Structures are given as C-alpha cells and as structure tokens.
Amino acid sequence: MTSDEPGVPVQTAPAPTGEDYSGVWVSHYEFYSSSRENTFTGLHHVVLSQNGNRITGRSLPGASSNPDSPLSFDLTVDRNIVTGSWVEQTAQDGYYQEARYHGAIQLLVDPTGRRMAGKWVGFGKDFDVNSGPWELRLLDKSTADHVLSRYSVPPEA
C-alpha cells in the first residue's frame, strides 16, 4: 500500500494476534528499595481489556497487596510479545506516601496464553534507572461484574 504521496508508504497497525487476553489476571512484580535495603513484591488483581492489538489494564478496587495503590497498563500486542507502559500511584499513608511511579514493561506470552513474563523498567529516587521481573497469570477470562467483584480483594502471596 502507498499513500497519495509518491514513495511514502502508508503505515498500518499490526494485525491482532487472534488471541484475546481480556480477563482477570494476577500481577506480580519485584522491586528493590534502596532506602529499606531489601527486595519487595507487588501483587495486584488486574482486569485486562483488549481491542485489536491494544490492551488496557487496571487493578481492581481493593485488590492490591499494598492497599490503595492502584496500578494501570497501556500495552500493545505483537504476536507473543506485549510491550507498553505501567503506572502505579502508591498509597497516601504507605511507605512511599502517594508517590507516582511509572515506566516501561515488556512481556513474553507463553504458548498457552495464560502467563506473561518479562521485565519492567522505571526510575529511582537517586537519579537511577531500576528494573525487575514482572509476571501476569490468567485467573479468569470473564470480565463479568460478579467475577470482578470476586477478585476485588488483595491477592495471596
């Protein structure tokens, strides 16, 4: 395909994978806290919604191991590779006192389509860039209200 201008091809979006990753997933990531000199885990029940090759995600209300710290995703699927960005707003009364963290994420989808694993990258407080493992595991393909309600609780470690 070409555009109306000679020599300029039309950009088309990648074709959808055929797999729909919509549903409820458990999100598990690890991060190192330099101020506490220890590695910690973040767990959230998240709902993913896919439209073509785009996925948006958000944590369910009350569904974080760190209460009141919502997480969101904006992702793109290309075959078995999921790439995009994440944002987490930490709790007002938590250790990080309502700090907003954000960064990039890249995950590989396993052949069953029930697990995504990869890495996140984001900034640190000491003018550094941090990274760590991130995994999503499918819990339920449904996004019906009764399913979302069932997972609106903190995940078990």
Does residue 19 lie in a domain region? no
Mean pLDDT throughout 42-54?
Answer: 96
Does residue 102 lie in a domain region? yes
What is the rounded distance in angstroms from the CA atom of residue 96 to the CA atom of residue 40? 13
Structural domain of residue 59, as residue ranges? Answer: 25-150
- Please write the tens of the pLDDT for every residue from 25-45: 999 999 887 778 888 888 999
What is the rounded distance in angstroms from the CA atom of residue 63 to the CA atom of residue 43? 8
Q: How many domains does the chain have?
A: 1
Percentage of the chain lying above the pLDDT 70 cut: 83
Q: Helices marked H in the chain — which ranges? A: 145-150
What's the pLDDT at 18? 64
Structure tokens at 115: 């697990």
- Please write the tens of the pLDDT for every residue from 87-121: 987 766 656 666 778 899 999 999 999 999 999 99
User: Residue 121: phi, psi to the nearest 5?
Assistant: -140, 145
What pTM was estimated for this model as a whole?
0.83
Report the chain's C-alpha Rg in angstroms: 17
Q: For residue 9, is pLDDT > 80?
A: no
Q: For residue 126, is pLDDT > 50?
A: yes
Does residue 145 lie in a domain region? yes
Does residue 11 lie in a domain region? no
Q: Is 71 exposed, middle or buried (0-12, 13-18, 19+ CB in 10 A)?
A: buried
Does residue 52 lie in a domain region? yes
Q: Please provide the average confidence, as pLDDT, over all residues in the chain.
A: 85
- More confident position, 126 or 74: 74
Is the separation of the CB atoms in 22 and 48 below 8 Å? yes
| Residue 138 per-residue DSSP state | E
Does residue 81 lie in a domain region? yes
CATH number for 138: 2.40.128
Does residue 5 lie in a domain region? no
Does residue 96 lie in a domain region? yes
What's the pLDDT at 16? 42
